[in-house]
Amino acid sequence: MAVTRHSDAVAPLRSSGPVSIWLGRHGRTASASFGRLVHQPFASLMIILVIAVTLAIPAALNLVIKNFTAISSGWDDALDFSVFLDTGISESEAEALARLIAQRADVDDVRLITAEAALAEFKEQSGFGSALDHLPDNPLPHTLVVRPSAANTPQSMTLLREELDSLPETELVQVDTEWVQRFHAILEIVQQAIMIGAGLLGAAIIVIIGNTIRLEIQNRRDEIEVTKLIGASNAFVRRPFLWSGFWFGLFGSVLALGLVQYGLYLLRPTVARLAGLYQSGVTMLTLDLRDSLAIIGVGVVLGLAGSWLAAARHMRSIEPK
């Protein structure tokens, strides 16, 4: 009897691969951990709120520093030297002197403001208007605005000022860089203090989450002992607690973003009113996508770190009797 082969025979089902099994286990564990947070809304909300406030404080302060840095970036002109020439210097002589100074290696740019241009600008901004037309002559001298090179040191800046002041055509050299340098130094100090404070607050988040996970481990001690009794490893038992730390860090960081954005919303009318008083177009910088992802990433990492440290420490002490 001939043996017939059926090409449409049903092939046996293949078992899922190790990656699918791993993802399935973590998915079920993540869902179960999320369910425990939902079943304890008040306690979970308090922990998430503490984490959110702890993350929002350094994020908001860092955003303030970024706004001040953006504002101060428009103060580069304050680093320029204003060289007021003698009133007897003609415009052609002033142009020649400007070209000579521009050839120096420690100078980036030299701009000439003629006496006529200076008087016209003063008329426009002072409000005196046509009253200045009755002056017998122009009292303002030609001015050279000298921008030093960025490679200058404080010593070379002082030397440049002395050399410009010693020129025979110079009447006065005016420079006011000290307050700008002090402002930037203060910003650097504050930024370093924020980084140190953020590190301390991050440690506080780890402690908070670690203590929460420790309490949860103690409440589920009997369950852990039974699970280990049937052969579960520490990594398997630790998994749900890691997911709890993940959820705490994720929701806390997202809420922190909301708090920072709400604070910016409250400050925006005040900043706009202040900018209007100074006739300035200053706009507030907000958290961009990169900053937001960084805050969420930091929150998740801190949540996982706190839960892992607590679980790794207390899990070894729980063994089936």
Query: What pLDDT score does 56 carry?
Result: 94
Q: Is residue 20 part of a domain?
A: no
Predicted local distance difference test score (pLDDT) of residue 129: 56
Same-domain status, 269 and 203: yes
**Quick one: 108 and 156 in the same domain?**
yes
Q: What integer best gives the mean pLDDT of the chain?
A: 81
Residues 156, 117, single domain; the answer is: yes
> Is residue 294 predicted with pLDDT exceeding 60?
yes
The confidence band for 178, taking pLDDT boundaries of 50, 70 and 90, is: low
Task: Assess whether 186 and 307 both reside in one domain.
Answer: yes
Average pLDDT over residues 178-190: 78
pLDDT of residue 24: 80
User: Contact, 171 vs 141, CB < 8 A?
Assistant: yes
Q: 120-124, 165-169, 278-282: which has the minimum mean pLDDT? A: 278-282
| pLDDT at residue 176, as a whole number | 62
pLDDT digits (tens, 9 = 90+) for 40-98: 889 899 999 999 999 999 999 988 888 887 776 655 555 778 888 888 888 888 899 99
Dist. CA 162–CA 172, nearest whole Å: 11
Closest among 249, 244, 246, 251 to 219, alpha carbons compared: 244
Q: What band does 3 get if pLDDT is binned at 50, 70 and 90?
A: very low
53 and 201 together in one domain: yes
Note the pLDDT of residue 16.
56
Q: How far apart (Å, rounded) are the C-alpha atoms in residues 172 and 140?
A: 12
pLDDT score of 15 more than 50: no
Cross-strand pairs, 174: 82
Question: Of 76-90, 217-231, 233-247, which range is least confident?
Answer: 76-90
> Can you give the pLDDT at residue 125?
62
Q: Do 89 and 168 sit in the same domain of this protein?
A: yes
pLDDT tens column, 244-282: 999 999 999 999 999 999 988 888 888 777 666 655 566
pLDDT value, residue 4: 43
DSSP 283: -
Q: Above 90 in pLDDT, residue 172?
A: no
Q: For position 276, what pLDDT does the model report?
A: 67
**pTM of the predicted structure, to 2 decimals:** 0.65
pLDDT over threshold 70, residue 126: no
**What is residue 199's predicted lDDT score, i.e. its pLDDT?**
93
| 163 and 280 inside one domain | no
Say yes or no: 169 and 124 in one domain.
yes
- Cα gap 54→295, rounded to integer Å: 11
My answer on whether 161 and 206 are in the same domain is no
Structurally, the chain folds into a number of domains equal to 2
Residue 153 belongs to a domain with what CATH number? 3.30.70.3040
3-state secondary structure of 119: helix
Print the domain residue range for 188. Answer: 29-74+181-315
Residues 156 and 97 in one domain: yes
What is residue 133's predicted lDDT score, i.e. its pLDDT? 58
Q: Decide which of 117, 140, 174 is a domain's last residue.
A: 174
- Helices marked H in the chain: 18-39, 41-72, 91-102, 115-126, 154-165, 178-219, 221-229, 234-277, 289-315
The mean pLDDT of 226-248, rounded to a whole number, is: 85
45 lies in the same domain as 163 = no
The answer to whether residue 136 scores a pLDDT higher than 80 is: no
Indicate the range of 96-105, 131-140, 165-174 predicted with least confidence: 131-140
**Residue 45 in domain:** yes
Does any domain span residue 2? no
pLDDT at residue 134 tops 60 = no
- 303 and 238 together in one domain: yes
